Structure formats: C-alpha cells, structure tokens
Structure 1
Amino acid sequence: MRILIVHNILWAHYKSAVFQSLQQVVDQRSDVSMLVLQIARNERSRAGLESEPDVDVPTYSYNYELLFDWYLEDVSVSERFTALLRRVRAYKPDVINLTGYYDPAQLLLLGWAKLNGIRVIMQNESTAADHERSGLKERFKRFIFSRCDGFFCFGSQSADYVIRLGVSPEKILLKKNAVDNTTLRSVYQRALRQRSEQQQALALRQHNFIFVGRLIEFKNLPMLIDAFAAASAQSPNANSWGLLFLGDGVERDSLVAQTARLKLGNSVTFLSGKPWFKVPEILALSDVLVLPSRSEPWGLVVNEAMVCGLPVIVSARCGCVIDLVHHGQTGFVIDPDQPTQLTHWLLKFMNQEVDVVSMKKAAETYIAPYSPDAVAEEMLQGFLKIKN
C-alpha cells in the first residue's frame, strides 16, 4: 500500500513529530510506503515563530517533499493543484490523506482521486462550537464529506461535527491530536531547575497563570485580565500570583493599556512569542495554563501544558476540552462568556483550595495516550482499514 499525505506547511512541528512516528511504523512493514507532500514552508501569520538557522532546533526524519519553499499565501490555487497532481500521478498512491476541505486545490485533487479510484481520508479540525455554522457552507461541506472514505479528526468534538454532517461513525478513524511530548517534557524538566532564578530575572511572581498564543480578538484576553484583576482584589495571596502572556499580536497594546487602567502594576507580564521548543522554558515559570478562547478547533497549547504537568483552565469552546480537560481532575472548564466563572477558578488556585499535586499527576496520565506514537499507530490502522 502506498500512502500519500498532503499537508499545508512544513513549519507545523507537531505534525512533523507525528509523521516521523508514522514513518517508523511504516518502515517496519514491507507492504507499506508513505510520502508527505508539504505544500509550503510556512504561513505569513506564523513567520515570526520560525527559528533562527543557528538555533538547535529539533529535527524530524520522514519521507517528504517541499513543493514551494515560501509562504502558503503566496502560492496560487493553480500552482498548488498543478504541483500536487504532478506528484500524485508520479507516486501512484492507494490512499491520499488531505489536510482539509478549505483548500480549493485539495478539493480538486479529491475529485481527481475519486475519478481514478483512489481512496481519500480527510483531516478535520473544525467543531460545531468553534464558529456559528449554518446555511450553504454547511451543505457544501456535507457534499464534500460524502465523497471521502474516512476521517482523521482532532478530537471527539471534531468527530461529532463530522457525524452531524452525515458521515457514518465507522468512517471516523482517529480522534486525537498530539505534540512532541518527549521533547517538550525534556525542555520543561531542564528549565524547572532554574525556576526561581529565571523568575527573579524576569521580575515574575512566585506563582503565575499563563496564556500562550497569539494576542488576537477571539482568544478573549480582555476577559482574562478582568478576571485576574477581580481575583487579585479578593485573594489574601494576591501578591504571590502573577499573570503571564507569552505571544505577540495586534491586541498587545490594548491589553497593556487595560492592565494599566486596572492598576495591576507588575503583576502582569508580556513576553514575546518563542519557538515551540522554547515554550516549556516559560511554562516552567508558571503554575496554571489559561485558555479562555471564544473559538478554538483544538488548542495544542493545552497538550503542551499537560505534558509539562500543569493544571489548565480552558474554555468550553476549545475542541480539546472533552478529551483532555476533565473538570476537577486535570483542570477546569469555563464558559468564555461568563467572566465570573474564570474569576472563581483563579481564586481557587490563588487561595490554595485546589489539589495541585493530584492535578499534575492527572494531567500527565491523561495526556500520555495523546502522543505522536499513539496517533501514528491509529493513523496506520486507519489507512489499512480504508485500503481493505
């Protein structure tokens, strides 16, 4: 069996970790081969997160080809489709895994594959909760999904959304999403040894809530600052707790101004974004991850935090919630439109009313099955099921 995976950008390190694990299980079989077609190097919106050439960046080994060594936005639909079709014809796959339904070039490839008897597995990140969904667009997706033979979904909510669009549950071949657990955990453990020294160097509090990601509207960060201010005003331990933002984005200036208006002083710190493999260095200075987004297909930063053993407070509209955030065990789930809920749980941590030790253990236990090796094995079984 010849497996062809079409993926958007080479930069997506979490996918590279999975592809490497998949390559390793494929290489153990004489009857299976695989090739990943990376359409472009990166997206412009993530250009600032690319690592410098001289940095010791983790590398991954798997069989891939980079079709265009520039930004995805600069590659036209016709260029993408022409390049993909040329490589597909040369490789002659039995099964094709497409990245998603939103790329016209890949939809054209889906049509070509069906005309030529090639099985197609579609990746789906979307959930019913991450956006308002109705009308013509949903009918179009229903039509596209009806042409696919199987689905790799980013979690249970993603799978439920696909089923709601008429897909048979038997076609759901994967309901997981993974990051490079081993690398992230290793970096975190090393950084933890210098926690106090680094906190002092950055003028951080002894304990910190942390947000990691782009500082943009749908992340709902003004609510986080308001909730932190409210909790700080109520907790006798407020002087020991800070709020840390790791990331860049168009809302940074307004968030800094909001912090000043609320007179939060040095309890809120903004740090520029870091390459993914350096994020655990900052997680090591923190105690609880907060992701209050109004929309989030999955939320890989939750994986990253739980790999490092951090409890999490996560919006109910994040795709990972059902699978990873077990309320009261690995963290807490909040309604992103109810700031008092977030304030409540921030206070619980600040007032030492949460069993953080047991939450750390639970986080590590529940994240273990969401590893690149586990995802790769399920992907291979999915490919085999579709082929047979």
Structure 2
Amino acid sequence: MNLAIVTNILTPYRIPLFEAISRQVDRLSVLLMAETEENRDWILDAYRFDADVLPGFHLPIRGRETAVHMNYGVTERLRRLNPDLVLSGGFAPANWGALLYCAKHRKPYLAWGELALRSCAGGSRLRHGLRRLICGLSSGAIASSSEAKHVFMHYGIDEKDILLAPMPIDVDYVNSEVAACRAHPGFRDIKSRYPGPVLLSVARLIDAKGYPQLFDMYAEIVKTRPETTLLVVGDGPERERYVNHIAARGWGNLHLVGHVQWRDLMTYYALADIVVFPSLADTFGAVIAEGMAAELPVISSIHAAATEDLIEEGKTGFVIDPLDISGSIQTILKVLAMPEEELRRVGHEAFLRVRNIGIEGSARRMIEFFHSKVKPGASRAIRHR
C-alpha cells in the first residue's frame, strides 16, 4: 500500500505510530502543515519515514493558542505521490486540498481526529456545514476516542465506517523506561527529597487544564496530608500567575517543574505515586495513557475524552469532575489513603488496559482498516517484517 497522511505537525507520540505504519506498508508519506506550533516546545527524535512541510503561511487568530495553517500545493504533491489512500487529520485548507484530490482521482479519503462533542454545540453554521461536507465525502474515519466517534457520526459518517483507535502511545517504552528510572542507583536519593506521597500533573499551564481547581484541591488536601507533594510538569502563559499564587499560599511542597522533553518525562512518572489529570476540556489526554503505562493510579477528569475509554472506576483508575472541588478532594484523599498493595493492583490493571492501545497493535488495526477501504487490485498486500 502507498499511503499518504496529512496532519498539522509531528509529535513525540505520533512518530512511533508512523514508524510502525511505515514498516507495514510499501510507502508512507507524511505531509505536514508546519514544523511546529506556538504552544509546543518539543525536541523530536530522528524518525525513519518521509515527512515534508507543505508550503504556506500561518494566520494568527485572537483567542487561539495556535495559528491557522494556510497551506497550498497539497493536491499537486499528492498527484506526484499517487497514494492508494489518504488519511487526513483536521479541517484546514490542506485537508480540503487532500479531499479534492481524492474526489478527482477516486481515491479513498479517511478523516482522522481528536474531536470533542462541545465542537458540535459551538461555532458558526458555516463551520458545521463545512465539517458535515468533508465528512459526507469521506470514505470513513479513524476516531481517537469514543467521543470523537460520536462527533464523526454527528457529521454524517456511518458508524460501520469508523474505526475507534484511541491515540496509541509507546506503552512498552514508557513502562520499561520508568522501571529503569526506579532501578537506577541514584533514584532512592532523588525520591527521598519528597517525604510524603507525590502527586504528578502534566499539562500546559493554562486554566483550561484545570490548574486553578487543582490548586484549590491541594489547599484542602495538605490540611489532612501536609506531607503531600504536587509536581506540575509543563509550561505556558499562566506560569507567572501560578508562581505568584503558590508563593502567596506558602506551599513549599508544590513545584512548577517547567517544560520537560518527552523522554525526560519518564523520571517524573517514576517519582510519582499518583497521576492527577484535572483538565476541563481535552480531546484525548495522552498523559492519562502514559501514567497508566507507568503502572500508576490515575485520577482523571470526566472532561478528557480518554477517561471514558481507559478509566474503569476503582479498577484501572479513578474519575473526578474538577468543577466539583469537594468531590474531587474526597477522591484524591481516598486514593492517598489506600494501602500500597491496592495502589499497585490498580496501577497494574491500568497497564494491562492501556497495552491494548500499544503502537504495533494500533498500526496493524489501522492498516487493516485502510485495506478495507481500497478497491481490490488498487493496492499491494500488507508487508510483514
């Protein structure tokens, strides 16, 4: 199979998936809208597939963290590549160009996305109309969550034409690296800097990630468990305001770590006893899956799409509504009070659950879905390596 993917940027958690796909097809070409975006500070590892940035410009929009990508030349690029199928993530001009190419050359076009149900309620009629049009002309879709699946169905794609494939992460890498960190000779000294349980939260420093609510929770938690540490990994526009707030409250055990490259993040998962993801709006929430891959109990927001697909209350993790501060505090304190062996059991069950969305298995399911959408004789067989 000759496959083309159109997406906005490369990310640390997409690269392993694209590499796994590339090993199972004859050719993979990834067309990017930009090298990076304003709210991303990643340093990417080398990758082993073809990826090129489309020509274009980037239009800043007030109220948006990232610019709108205005790319051109995608139809000509796809004409030269002559893919059997195009997987296209989003509704930007490059996605429309890919759709037009597929319509003209009678090639399958699959929509791909991390979408939220709230997007069905807000926005203009034009926006909804354009989304309904692009979905109506698609051969199907790959949904990164059950919530995204419902959005694609809302815009007119039949359920039978949608593959539910939660955002895959490199589960085995996370699990082995975190275990290696814990086994390192110097780890015990680092862990001893935190006398009590360590809560870990990883996200951009913006209010939409639920940090004001998390700080309110922490204020009450330390009244009962004063030895509790909260590590916040990430950076963002609200950093200075949060620093001032923490200083005013005199919280010596609450640390804003700053931005950490993805591979270095494994050290913080090793230090953590519990992961808390209090987002108020998230189209997936890769941190949830990463925490589960690290065999940690995860306390996850109902407003993150991954929660529905990955968290089974009390078995693979715990669920909170961050807007219910009191209820969230009770849940966190309950988990903090659980015996260590019980926490280990939940962490292990979480790991077993998230292994289902590992890289290789997800790539295989996606490619099988691609082949189901390509006309017989139009593509070659899946390669086995």
Which TM-score band (shorter chain)?
A: 0.7 to 0.9
Q: CA deviation at 1:117?
A: 1.1
| 1:102-113 superposed matches below 5 A | 103-113=92-102
Deviation sequence 1:106-148 (CA, Å, 0-9, x none): 2133123212211100112112147853651333322221111
Contact 1:131–1:295 (Cα < 8 Å) also in 2: no
Match of 2:78 in 1: 88
TM-score (norm 1): 0.87
Q: For residues 387 and 160 of structure 1, what CA distance do their matches in structure 2 show?
A: 24
Match of 2:137 in 1: 147
| 1:126-275 superposed matches below 5 A | 126-129=115-118, 132-133=121-122, 135-136=124-125, 137-193=127-183, 194-200=186-192, 203-235=193-225, 238-239=226-227, 241-264=228-251, 266-275=252-261
Match of 1:25 in 2: 24
Match of 1:35 in 2: 29
Instruction: Single out whichever of 127-136 and 163-172 deviates more from structure 2.
Output: 127-136
Q: Is structure 2 residue 125 aligned with structure 1 residue 125?
A: no
Contact 2:33–2:69 (Cα < 8 Å) also in 1: no
The alignment partner of 2:267 has SS state of helix
Deviation sequence 1:48-94 (CA, Å, 0-9, x none): 3326xxxxx4x4323x132359996699966x221x22221111112
Contact 1:228–1:346 (Cα < 8 Å) also in 2: no
Q: Is structure 2 residue 357 aligned with structure 1 residue 370?
A: yes
Match of 1:291 in 2: 277
Match of 2:12 in 1: 13
Q: In structure 2, do the counterparts of structure 1 residues 299 and 280 end up closer, same or farther at CA, with 3 Å as the change threshold?
A: same
Deviation sequence 1:165-202 (CA, Å, 0-9, x none): 222101102332111223222221121124331234xx
Q: In structure 2, do the counterparts of structure 1 residues 295 and 377 end up closer, same or farther at CA, with 3 Å as the change threshold?
A: same
Residue identity matched to 1:217:
D
Match of 1:323 in 2: 309
Match of 1:277 in 2: 263
Q: In structure 2, do the counterparts of structure 1 residues 262 and 185 end up closer, same or farther at CA, with 3 Å as the change threshold?
A: same
The alignment partner of 2:34 has SS state of strand
Residue identity matched to 2:178:
Y
Residue identity matched to 2:232:
F
The alignment partner of 1:36 has SS state of strand
Q: For residues 130 and 115 of structure 1, what CA distance do their matches in structure 2 show?
A: 29
* 2:48 maps to which of 58, 61, 70: 61
Match of 2:383 in 1: none
Q: Is structure 2 residue 10 aligned with structure 1 residue 2?
A: no
The alignment partner of 2:35 has SS state of strand
Unaligned runs of 5+ in 1: 27-31, 52-56
Corresponding residue pairs, total: 365
RMSD after superposition:
2.4
Q: In structure 2, do the counterparts of structure 1 residues 73 and 19 end up closer, same or farther at CA, with 3 Å as the change threshold?
A: farther
Q: CA deviation at 1:243?
A: 0.6
Q: For residues 140 and 205 of structure 1, what CA distance do their matches in structure 2 show?
A: 54
Q: For residues 73 and 99 of structure 1, what CA distance do their matches in structure 2 show?
A: 19
* 1:349 maps to which of 324, 329, 335: 335
